[in-house]
């Protein structure tokens, strides 16, 4: 959906489609301290610290769907029945006029850029933004966008629900996202790699959801076939403070789920674990791929790039031509010759931040190998997305200008490594969870021998570096 293509048409299109959540569920809400139309200052975190669930309605005076929802009375009734002065007293509502070009007269319904009087019959505070800082913090791309913010600062986008549905959602989503116990460590989200070629770095956000300071926790990450990562955290988090915990890396060779859990004891276990699906890039056994692009109506939004294992851009495409009507518009295929073996990144961007979908046409972007096997498919994004693929020809890698052969692989003991140049190469061997092993290939010049005879069956990773270039090759021990 295009946000500001045609201003007069904007109120019609900005809520006509179901798009992805602006902020991912369980994101951390950005605080704001802003005055309403009456000059009263509102501090979001202050309300959250007092135990309130806050509803943020990002709207615009010219937006017809926003007006229709406003006139439904859902937020007014929620505020009147569960807000200040009520028996429950759990809800706060903020109407945020998020178009910085609108005026007080627009809010009063006195201009052609307004659907009506937004102030009358609005019992909750109205905040008229004068800058886009808050819109940017909450990734606002369409109106209305409604967020529910729990006392512990976690955010969820909600639909245009009626009063009872909003109340139920507040109790279901936010019911335990507040300090109910003295000791309650919480894993609130996964923040590490979700896509990679070989290694993923496992990170999580640890939050103190308890009333007393959190000073220690034990966190474990596990996945089938891999050794666990365990992290003994010590610190001092006050209520609702959080810290990103970097547990380490795992070497994966297939799509897997990683479970991260708190193994230390606290008073509430429902927030002690999270599971994250990890996507490992597909392998291609040649140096030729084809990029296939189908844009929506606004091809000028779409661009793509390929980065080689050194991070250098080696190919790109777009922006493409805009079209006169919605639809799917295939672009010429682009054949790309890759520069070396190793891990490649494929990146797509949308300059307007609305992806290639929906009312303007269902676009799609693919990377295929020379046999037609699909390596990457991207179409479910707003501003950008990326994925990985790996060029791998068994027993051969390239490092800078050196062709390196590694065989036999799999091996039952000795591995021979040969280079076609005298380029200086350093080696580092890692196990399948990324831990260094105290063994290195023996040799000099351009011939080395790696003795794996004393190591158990499984996958190992040989990291080879020369200058600023690095490549990693998997070695399988099979006796």
Are 365 and 304 in contact by the 8 Å Cβ rule? The answer is yes
Q: Note whether residue 1 is domain-resident.
A: no
For residue 149, list its beta bridge partners.
54, 155
What DSSP line would sit under 39-102, residue for residue?
Answer: S-EEEHHHHHHTT-EEEEEEE-TT-HHHHHHHHHTHHHHHHHHHSTTSSS--EEEEEEE--TT-
Q: What is the pLDDT of residues 337-380, one digit of tens each?
A: 988 777 899 999 998 888 898 889 999 999 999 899 999 999 98
291-295, 308-312, 442-446, 448-452, range with the lowest pLDDT: 442-446
Q: Note whether residue 51 is domain-resident.
A: yes
- Left, alpha or beta for 188 (phi > 0: left; psi -120 to 50: alpha)? alpha
Same domain as 217, residue 304? no
Same domain as 272, residue 254? yes
Cis before residue 417, ω within 30 degrees of 0? Answer: no
Same domain as 383, residue 338? yes
CA distance to 196, 205, 247, 261, per residue, from 228 (Å): 19, 18, 10, 11
**CA separation for the pair 41, 38 (Å, rounded):** 9
Q: How many domains does the chain have?
A: 4
pTM exceeds 0.85, yes or no:
no
Q: Note whether residue 180 is domain-resident.
A: no
Same domain as 318, residue 385? yes
Same domain as 125, residue 19? yes
Domain that holds residue 441: 396-477
Are 377 and 328 in contact by the 8 Å Cβ rule? The answer is no
Same domain as 153, residue 26? yes
Q: Note whether residue 71 is domain-resident.
A: yes
For residue 59, list its beta bridge partners.
97
Domain boundary among 253, 278, 303: 278
Domain boundary among 143, 174, 205: 174
Same domain as 376, residue 410? no
- The pLDDT assigned to 401 comes to 64
State the CATH number of the domain containing residue 92: 3.40.30.10
Are 106 and 62 in contact by the 8 Å Cβ rule? The answer is yes
Same domain as 324, residue 246? no
State the CATH number of the domain containing residue 215: 2.60.40.10
Mean pLDDT of the residues in the chain? 89
For residue 227, list its beta bridge partners.
none
- The pLDDT assigned to 433 comes to 65
Q: What is the pLDDT of residues 33-75, one digit of tens each?
A: 999 999 999 999 999 999 999 999 999 999 999 999 999 999 9
Same domain as 229, residue 256? yes
Q: What is the pLDDT of residues 405-461, one digit of tens each?
A: 888 988 999 999 988 877 788 888 888 666 788 888 898 778 899 999 999 888 888
pLDDT at 402 over 60: yes
Domain boundary among 361, 391, 421: 391
Same domain as 158, residue 55? yes
Q: Note whether residue 268 is domain-resident.
A: yes
Same domain as 127, residue 64? yes
CB atoms near residue 449 (< 10 Å): 11
Q: Note whether residue 2 is domain-resident.
A: no
Same domain as 332, residue 319? yes
Q: What is the pLDDT of residues 246-278, one digit of tens each?
A: 999 887 878 999 999 999 999 999 999 999 999
User: Which DSSP category does 359 fall into?
Assistant: G
Q: How confident is the model at residue 2 (pLDDT cuts 50, 70, 90)?
A: very low
State the CATH number of the domain containing residue 304: 2.60.60
Q: How confident is the model at residue 3 (pLDDT cuts 50, 70, 90)?
A: very low
């Amino acid at each position: 959906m295009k946000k500001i293509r045609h201003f007069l048409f904007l109120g019609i299109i900005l809520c006509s489609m179901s798009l992805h959540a602006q902020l991912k569920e369980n994101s951390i809400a950005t605080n704001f301290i802003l005055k309403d139309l009456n000059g009263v200052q509102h501090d979001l975190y202050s309300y959250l610290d007092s135990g309130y669930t806050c509803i943020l309605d990002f709207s615009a005076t010219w937006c017809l769907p926003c007006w229709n929802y406003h006139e439904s009375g859902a937020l007014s009734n929620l505020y009147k029945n569960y807000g200040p002065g009520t028996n429950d007293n759990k809800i706060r509502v903020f109407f945020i006029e998020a178009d910085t070009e609108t005026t007080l007269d627009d809010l009063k319904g006195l201009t052609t850029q307004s659907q009506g009087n937004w102030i009358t019959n609005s019992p909750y505070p109205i905040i008229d933004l004068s800058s886009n800082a808050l819109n940017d913090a909450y990734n606002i791309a369409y109106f209305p966008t409604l967020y529910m913010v729990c006392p512990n600062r976690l955010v969820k986008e909600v639909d245009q629900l009626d009063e009872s549905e909003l109340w139920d959602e507040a109790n279901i989503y936010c019911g335990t996202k507040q300090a109910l116990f003295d000791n309650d460590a919480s894993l609130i989200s996964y923040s590490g790699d979700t896509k990679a070629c070989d290694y993923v770095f496992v990170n999580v956000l640890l939050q103190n959801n308890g009333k007393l300071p959190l000073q220690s926790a034990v966190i474990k990450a596990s996945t089938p076939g891999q050794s666990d990562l365990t992290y003994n955290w010590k610190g001092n988090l006050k209520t609702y403070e959080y810290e990103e915990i970097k547990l380490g890396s795992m070497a994966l060779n297939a799509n897997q789920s990683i479970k991260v859990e708190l193994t230390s004891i606290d008073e509430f276990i429902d927030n002690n674990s999270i599971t994250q699906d990890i996507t490992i890039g597909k392998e291609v056994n040649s140096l030729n791929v084809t990029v296939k692009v189908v844009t929506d109506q606004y091809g000028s939004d779409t661009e793509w790039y390929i980065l080689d294992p050194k991070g250098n851009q080696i190919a790109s495409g777009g922006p493409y031509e805009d079209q006169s009507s919605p639809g799917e518009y295939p672009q010429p295929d682009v054949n790309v010759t890759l520069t070396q073996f190793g891990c490649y990144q494929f990146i797509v961007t949308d300059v307007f931040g609305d992806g290639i979908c929906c009312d303007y046409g269902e676009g799609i972007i693919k990377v295929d190998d020379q046999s037609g096997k699909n390596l990457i498919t991207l179409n479910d994004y707003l501003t950008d997305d990326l994925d990985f693929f790996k060029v791998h020809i068994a027993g051969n890698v390239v490092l800078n200008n050196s062709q390196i052969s590694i065989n036999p692989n799999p091996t039952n003991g000795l591995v021979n490594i040969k280079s076609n140049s005298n380029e200086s190469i350093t080696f580092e061997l890692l196990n399948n969870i990324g831990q260094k092993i105290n063994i290195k290939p023996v040799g000099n010049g351009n011939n080395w021998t790696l003795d794996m005879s004393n190591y158990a069956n499984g996958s190992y990773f040989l990291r080879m570096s020369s200058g600023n270039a690095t490549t990693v090759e998997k070695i399988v021990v099979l006796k």
